[in-house]
Structure 1
Amino acid sequence: MSQDNQHGRWTISSSDDDDDIPPSNTATSHSPTLTDSNRNSHMPVPLASSKEARTATPPPPAPAYGVKTEPHPVQVNPAPSPLVTVSEARQAAHAGQLNPVKYESPPPPSGKRKREPDESGWALSDSDDDDGGDDVKVKGESSGSGQRGAPPGMRPPSPKAKKPKVEKNERPPSPHGRTYYIDEPDDFYETSIPCLNDTYRLYLNKVTGLDRKYNTGALHIRDILSPLFGTLKESVQFNYCFDISWMVQQYPPEFRDRPVLLVHGDKREAKAHLLQQAQPFPHVRFCQAKLDIAFGTHHTKMMLLWYEEGFRVVILTSNLIRADWYQKTQGLWMSPLFPRLPKGSASCDGESPTFFKRDLLEYLASYRAPEFSDWIQRIEEHDLSETRVYLIGSSPGRYLGSDMERWGHLRLRKLLYEHSHPIPDEENWPVVGQFSSIGSMGLDKSKWLAGEFQRTLTTIGKSSHRADPPIHLVYPSVEDVRNSLEGYPAGGSLPYSIQTAQKQLWLHSYFHRWKAEATGRSHAMPHIKTYMRASPDFSELAWFLITSANLSKAAWGALEKNSTQVMVRSYELGVLFIPAAFNMSSFPVQKNQFPATSSSAAFPVPFDLPPKHYSSTDQPWIWNIPYSQAPDTHGNIWVPS
């Protein structure tokens, strides 16, 4: 079916989404998943995008990029430099930055009548030109602008798009201030231990181009790996996307040759490209996560850091690529420095009240990887008793009986049931979910979102009452992306596709804008993922979760066989904050987070509360359709090829 709206024209696919794949009949296989800034596995044509959403002066020669899809990753831009495999959406962003399409004022209206937009905000075309194809095809653009040729008789869209002359220093005035186009200054990285909030140990990342105060207490990857936090001996990096050369440069010079184990889910060409990247770095080794169920991903983002002084865990939302640490909103939890247990201690000693040590060891064991044997022993030899958060992981597989509560949203439900406390007037305490990608939810809300997932998110203690509170889903609108620091290329990290969106228009009534004035992050598009339960006036939280898991059945798991089995496709990891573990009845919400202080009891929510509902003209960002009616902060439009 062909559709158009104020942002352009597209042809939607008739193909099914990955989440709709029928389950197998066995209940023992370990299964992969589909998530986040990763991809929608049945995306259309490969698009040239960037893992780097760079707006500063031209970077050094960038690595070539390949599409990260399963089961057959594709190399799009062959180049002598190592290939960094990323999603099609990020490839589209990269292409838009290398060859931007400039905005030009539209010509006078042609007078052609179009149907009025329906309640979804999209309008149907008068023409019947559904070709039934599986690819998203942008119609009406000349082949010279990277688009497919227009069918005979079709007029080019308005406004006219053309490639600009390549002039390195020619940029429009920035609406975000003088420092917008400046790369990281010399003092961007801390030279002393930053002012950290050690109450929750939850931090945002530094963002280039923001006022200095909004980076106070925030961390860059170089800060995390700094010798100020310990004398590093060895590390493990769990992630989805890697730029190995860039990653190695983030380690301090004195640690740059220390052994690093990379845990990934790449297969076939993508795996070959990853190994190719590591050739100049003999200290880098690999562990391939087992993904035995179709369309699963290794989406966990974690660092294990072993020091001469002890051991540390960092659970985060950023890929190991420069774009994710540049002008996006990311989050991380950094553990205390765990000391070594006295000699002769039992492996179960040093446990925390939240059983973090046991759960971390169980998560590592789920990989069934001999590469982790030394790390499991090291963790057993350390005291993790200071930890006050709960670990919530997803590990691919189909699970029965008590194993159903080991992973995904049923694991979250179990922890909320056992460790949170009932609250008065709980039916008025809304659930807020915030994410950077969206999977297929089904034909209506009852299929998963308002059924099993809502039941999990609304569990409070052992109360038998089943409340039906409001659900607010925070996801950037087109205007949020257009006005961001990166402009339209920021949408490369928000891979919600038209194929998925057009099948679940009911979902969009839940959407709220990304607003983060209190943190200074409104214009730094989110790649962070958070879920929480808030009081009606949003002054308190009943619990808070930061995780790698997007709004996806593949990430969180879905019940099967009359709720006697749960299937999880992906590896995911996050930490859950419950007030009782901090000797509180609820978490007070921090209204003005910056400048940061070291001992605030208020919880640092990364966006403004209450969430602002989409207006009648707002539309969710969809990465694989064009936006050509208004320029972004760089004077460009979005024309995915």
Structure 2
Amino acid sequence: MSRGTGSQQGSYGKWTLSSSEDECEDQEASSTGKVKPSSSPPPQYHCSDARKESYKRKSHPLKFEELPGKEPSPAKKPKTDREDSGWCLSSSEDEQKSEKPGKSEKEETSSKGKLQKESRRSPDTQEKYRTPSDAQDPWDVLQAGEPFRFYLTKVTGIKPKYNTGALHIKDILSPLFGTLVSSVQFNYCIDVAWLVKQYPQEFRDKPLLIVHGEKQESKARLHEDAHPYENVRLCQARLDQAFGTHHTKMMLLLYEEGLRVVIHTSNLIRDDWHQKTQGIWLSPLYPRLPEGSSSLAGESVTNFRADLVAYLSAYNSPSLREWTDIIKQHDLSETRVYLVGSTPGRFQGYEKDKWGHFRLRKILREKCSPIAGVESWPVIGQFSSIGSMGADQSKWLHSEFSESMKTLGKGVKTLPHSENPLQLIYPSVDNVRTSLEGYPAGGSLPYGIQTAQKQPWLHTYFHRWKAETSGRSRAMPHIKTYMRLSPDCRQLAWFLVTSANLSKAAWGSLEKSGTQLFIRSYELGVLFLPSAFDLPSGTFPVKPNIYSNKEDSAGSFPVPFDLPPERYTGKDRPWIWNIPYVNAPDSHGNIWCPK
């Protein structure tokens, strides 16, 4: 079989393009009768074109055919070890059973520690509601996340020890964490039927408000999907700006015992909670304030409650005004993170500092103290999608955006970008090819060739996705994180986990000679600062291996990838979803031929 190709020369090798889509179509036709279709049904909900292509290729994979005289690629045959290959596992997490017996009441009491107040559940009840494949007591999971309460999502298909301290959505919604009264789910991509099933049976008829950004046909489809559930209401986020999205991922969970806020990076679809690396910040259980409390009671040192109310108020929705009242009735004083959000619009004056990268800049300027030598500390960004940055780095990346990211206290000089490196972590083609999902994992990395061709300069900043110490190198990241790290990787000035990818739409861009900030999308994240955790050094110690049991790692921040970041080699290319990859098979022996 011959393959005619054309190519685009980039900063890291070539993007190989098929000379004709007929080849992909021929392979698809020839695969009939040879390929066992995946059980994954096509999505019934709105998603990106990249996601749609991913679902198509999972359902109708195209098998790799070796070229004459070509040595087989080591990735042609997928692993069959059930611990390492998630493709061989059950397609339904409901079918998995926990084999760990419940703890005795005495053991349970000692494991709760200071988290005992978060639930009044008996050990028998805890065992009843243990989530699928959960080999760890939920109180141990919560305690492992202290004091940061930052967690990764469980991944199917990796060794169980690497899911230690990780959470599934069923864990978060479990009765172990509270007796649910009602909830709100904010998200971009939503499978209503799947979401309802993640709630335990006794909570599935509780009031559920879904905040979305769908319009026209996709809005009608979402309403149709929600119609069978009488308890589900929909709230459409206002999106007046072209190319804007409702990208925020948050849960508000009201319990009989109090209130909890969850800010995370996962869409409300099965794939995002199955074999991807995602981030979660889980708040403490916020108790209700006593009747007659002052309006100032219950606020945290990070002003989290007021900022959350301001964010919800920006929707201008009667449904969410009910929730701002609920939030004001609870004590959020234990919160140690800062809220960093984006809302669509054009902002001037003091409003400009409320959202986007100017919001981050304001907090870093006012709440951080200068650190000796910090000027040379790199900013590290990690994301799953990339917008148009402009013709060169001076247009946005190394002007307004970098200035915000490099702020740390007042009066700190910013070095030229050549002396203050920016390191961007984005999966390479090989990262995707050898992942648990294979090429279809690239459906959650929607960087398109049309954008990539306009900014080859950006790829000189790229570093590979590498998480071997956490056993997650093959679980493609959908998490988005930004941080300022010392050159020796031992100290962290700040850390942000957010829904915001690397784009002007998410972070905002200046207009009118810098007097106005223009944002297209809704985004939300939480910022960790050492001062809020009473660290006199002004930095977080960094945990080099987040699964290490060494005592000296206690209190260290669990950065979710290997340090230092590994720069692309000359052979590495960034994953671009809408071009073919036919010269090497993925971990399931398939190729990638998008239409």
* Same fold by TM-score greater than 0.5: yes
Q: CA separation in 2, counterparts of 1:437 and 1:259?
A: 33
Indicate the larger mover: 346-355 or 559-568: 346-355
> Which aligned pairs between 1:412-423 and structure 2 lie closer than 5 A?
412-423=360-371
1:301/1:317 contact within 8 Å kept: yes
Q: CA separation in 2, counterparts of 1:619 and 1:277?
A: 39
Q: 1:276 to 1:602 in 2, by over 3 A?
A: same
| Partner in structure 1 of residue 157 of structure 2 | 209
| Partner in structure 1 of residue 79 of structure 2 | 174
| Partner in structure 1 of residue 545 of structure 2 | 592
1:217/1:596 contact within 8 Å kept: no
Give CA-to-partner distance per residue, 1:131-152, whole Å, 9 cap, x none: xxxxxxxxxxxxxxxxxxxxxx
The one-letter code matched in structure 2 to 1:9 is L
CA RMSD of the aligned region, Å?
2.3
1:296/1:570 contact within 8 Å kept: yes
| Cα distance, 1:425 vs structure 2 | 1.1
Q: CA separation in 2, counterparts of 1:516 and 1:551?
A: 20
| Partner in structure 1 of residue 129 of structure 2 | none
SS of the equivalent of 2:171 reads helix
Q: 1:435 to 1:634 in 2, by over 3 A?
A: same
1:90 is the counterpart of 2:51: yes
SS of the equivalent of 1:575 reads strand
RCO higher in structure (CA 8 A, sep ≥6): 1
Give CA-to-partner distance per residue, 1:552-595, whole Å, 9 cap, x none: 00000000010010100000000000001101121111112126
| Partner in structure 1 of residue 141 of structure 2 | 195
| Partner in structure 2 of residue 609 of structure 1 | 563
1:490 is the counterpart of 2:444: no
| Cα distance, 1:107 vs structure 2 | 3.2
The one-letter code matched in structure 1 to 2:559 is V
The one-letter code matched in structure 1 to 2:234 is F
Q: CA separation in 1, counterparts of 2:563 and 2:224?
A: 45
Match of 2:473 among 522, 525, 530: 522
1:638 is the counterpart of 2:586: no
1:549 is the counterpart of 2:494: no
Q: 1:520 to 1:191 in 2, by over 3 A?
A: closer
| Cα distance, 1:600 vs structure 2 | 3.2
> Which aligned pairs between 1:105-504 and structure 2 lie closer than 5 A?
105-107=66-68, 172-174=77-79, 178-180=83-85, 181-183=88-90, 184=93, 185-187=96-98, 188-189=133-134, 192-193=137-138, 194-196=140-142, 197-468=145-416, 469-504=420-455
List structure 1 segments (4+ residues) > 3 angstroms apart after TM superposition: 1-8, 56-59, 175-179, 189-192, 595-600
Q: 1:591 to 1:317 in 2, by over 3 A?
A: same
| Partner in structure 1 of residue 573 of structure 2 | 619
| Partner in structure 2 of residue 133 of structure 1 | none
1:392/1:412 contact within 8 Å kept: yes
Give CA-to-partner distance per residue, 1:62-89, whole Å, 9 cap, x none: 3x43xxxxxxxxxxxxxxxxx2111100
TM-score, with length taken from structure 2: 0.84
TM-score, with length taken from structure 1: 0.78
2:173/2:200 contact within 8 Å kept: yes
SS of the equivalent of 2:476 reads coil
Q: CA separation in 1, counterparts of 2:567 and 2:386?
A: 18
1:458/1:466 contact within 8 Å kept: yes
Q: CA separation in 2, counterparts of 1:172 and 1:105?
A: 12
1:238/1:303 contact within 8 Å kept: yes
Q: CA separation in 1, counterparts of 2:517 and 2:489?
A: 33
| Cα distance, 1:191 vs structure 2 | 7.5
| Partner in structure 2 of residue 629 of structure 1 | 583
Give CA-to-partner distance per residue, 1:511-558, whole Å, 9 cap, x none: 000000121111000000000000110111000000000000000000
The one-letter code matched in structure 1 to 2:432 is V
1:208/1:327 contact within 8 Å kept: yes
| Cα distance, 1:190 vs structure 2 | 5.8
The one-letter code matched in structure 1 to 2:515 is T
Q: 1:377 to 1:506 in 2, by over 3 A?
A: same
Q: CA separation in 2, counterparts of 1:597 and 1:58?
A: 42
Q: CA separation in 1, counterparts of 2:493 and 2:408?
A: 8
Q: 1:279 to 1:191 in 2, by over 3 A?
A: farther
| Cα distance, 1:373 vs structure 2 | 2.0
The one-letter code matched in structure 1 to 2:310 is E
2:299/2:333 contact within 8 Å kept: yes
Q: 1:271 to 1:534 in 2, by over 3 A?
A: same
1:418/1:462 contact within 8 Å kept: yes
Q: CA separation in 2, counterparts of 1:11 and 1:377?
A: 59
| Cα distance, 1:192 vs structure 2 | 3.9
Q: 1:246 to 1:454 in 2, by over 3 A?
A: same
Q: 1:404 to 1:10 in 2, by over 3 A?
A: farther
1:206/1:215 contact within 8 Å kept: yes
Gaps of 5+ in 1: 13-47, 49-55, 66-82, 110-158, 160-170
Q: CA separation in 1, counterparts of 2:383 and 2:38?
A: 30
Q: CA separation in 2, counterparts of 1:392 and 1:614?
A: 30
1:412/1:456 contact within 8 Å kept: yes
| Partner in structure 2 of residue 69 of structure 1 | none
SS of the equivalent of 2:394 reads helix
Provide the aligned length of Structure 1 versus Structure 2.
Answer: 521
Q: 1:314 to 1:104 in 2, by over 3 A?
A: same
| Cα distance, 1:356 vs structure 2 | 0.0
SS of the equivalent of 1:385 reads coil
1:203/1:332 contact within 8 Å kept: yes
Give CA-to-partner distance per residue, 1:161-206, whole Å, 9 cap, x none: xxxxxxxxxx944177655121343221367424221210000000
The one-letter code matched in structure 1 to 2:62 is V
| Partner in structure 2 of residue 577 of structure 1 | 528
More helix as a share of residues: 2
Q: 1:596 to 1:246 in 2, by over 3 A?
A: farther
Q: CA separation in 1, counterparts of 2:185 and 2:263?
A: 10
2:484/2:495 contact within 8 Å kept: yes
Identity %: 58
The one-letter code matched in structure 2 to 1:100 is P
1:174/1:633 contact within 8 Å kept: yes
| Partner in structure 2 of residue 508 of structure 1 | 459
Q: CA separation in 2, counterparts of 1:4 and 1:106?
A: 22
Q: CA separation in 1, counterparts of 2:231 and 2:182?
A: 10
